[in-house]
Structure 1
Amino acid sequence: MAGTRWLSEHEQRVWRTFNAATGMLLAHLEGQLQRDSGMPLTYYEVLVVLSEAPDRTLRMSELAERCHSSRSRLSHAVARMEANGWVRRRSCPTDKRGSFAELTPQGMTALAEAAPGHVEAVRSSLFDVLTPEQVSALGEISAVIRNGLEPQCAKAREAAERDEGDATRF
């Protein structure tokens, strides 16, 4: 491993604390949504993205991108949400292989019912334990990390989709 830059002891501590904190936060939010609303965090995020889209509809490829998900993983999630009546898929009139996901009224209701508990869980486990200055710093740090990872994540998503041999076009 010539040229490998190891983490300093301080960096290791920060990394492990960050990793534990983000893992615990996501597990807490996942558990809250499952317990109170019967939906995984992934479904909640899809419903939120669709609720904010024009006409509450997005092309599946754009939905996958906005949800930071592979197309096949998103397709599976949307199929489950269709079974719940929360999302409807429809074909693209100009591209026979493309499709759209549309938030149904039942999906909007499920989101509206889940949102208060989810927002309270986010507030109590993240924002209430930080000072306003720490919230600002967290926002700035998170943006830097996200901006640095977005190009790599997009390339990885594209590679995964090629590897999956996904013949379906969104």
Structure 2
Amino acid sequence: MADTPWLDDDQHLAWVRFAAVLELLPRFLDSQLERDEHLSHFDYYCLAMLSEAPQRTLRMTVLASMTNATLPRLSRVMNRLEDASYVRREPCPGDRRATNVVLTEEGWAKVVQAAPGHVRQVRRLVIDALDPEQVEQLSAISTRLLTVLDPDQKMMASALRPTQPAR
């Protein structure tokens, strides 16, 4: 333990505060989407990624990478979203072993309906709590952390897309 690079007081305080944000933010995002749209934040995120994809279609493995989900978890979520008619699964034309997920018209309508409330919640909880310089700092810090956490930029690809659902 003598060679452990312990956090100094400032680093510890920064970490504890950041960890609290990591724990609290998902609950607030989920609660708004569940209350207003009967979706979890993860459901919405999957639908949003599909809404931004060409032809609103992604391979399951690509969607799993983009959302940092295991294939079993993503499959369970897709079952639920398919039951709600928001997505459908199809064989991948170029690879019979792969499955594509397609956002249906009902799914598109759900994303369009859910997006304003979600954006208001993101603004209230994060963006409007910061001044413009802090928003830039948050983006820079997040980008730096993602270079460590997501070196292959699997999730980063979605962060470089437009913020509104594709039309």
What TM-score, normalized by structure 1, do the two folds share? 0.85
Deviation at 1:151, TM superposition (A): 3.4
* 2:82 corresponds to 1:77: no
The equivalent residue for 2:30 is: 30
Report the residue type matching 1:63 in the other structure.
L
Alignment of 1:42-121 (within 5 A): 42-121=42-121
Deviation at 1:152, TM superposition (A): 8.7
Report the residue type matching 1:105 in the other structure.
E
Report the residue type matching 1:75 in the other structure.
S
Contact 2:50 2:58 in 1 (8 A): yes
Report the residue type matching 2:52 in the other structure.
E
Q: Secondary structure at the match of 1:151?
A: coil
Contact 2:147 2:153 in 1 (8 A): no
The equivalent residue for 1:143 is: 143
**1:43-96, Cα deviation, whole Å (9 max, x unpaired):** 100001000000000111111111121222111111111111101001123433
Q: Secondary structure at the match of 1:90?
A: strand
Deviation at 1:35, TM superposition (A): 0.5
| Higher helix proportion (structure 1 or 2) | 1
Q: Which ranges in structure 1 are unaligned for 5 or more consecutive residues?
A: 155-170
* 2:20 corresponds to 1:11: no
| Whole-angstrom distance in 2 between the partners of 1:125 and 1:84 | 29
Q: Which ranges in structure 2 are unaligned for 5 or more consecutive residues?
A: 155-167
| Whole-angstrom distance in 2 between the partners of 1:12 and 1:153 | 28
Q: Secondary structure at the match of 2:111?
A: helix
| Whole-angstrom distance in 2 between the partners of 1:37 and 1:65 | 25
| Whole-angstrom distance in 2 between the partners of 1:152 and 1:62 | 13
What TM-score, normalized by structure 2, do the two folds share? 0.86
Report the residue type matching 1:31 in the other structure.
S
Deviation at 1:2, TM superposition (A): 5.4
Alignment of 1:116-131 (within 5 A): 116-131=116-131
Report the residue type matching 2:19 in the other structure.
N
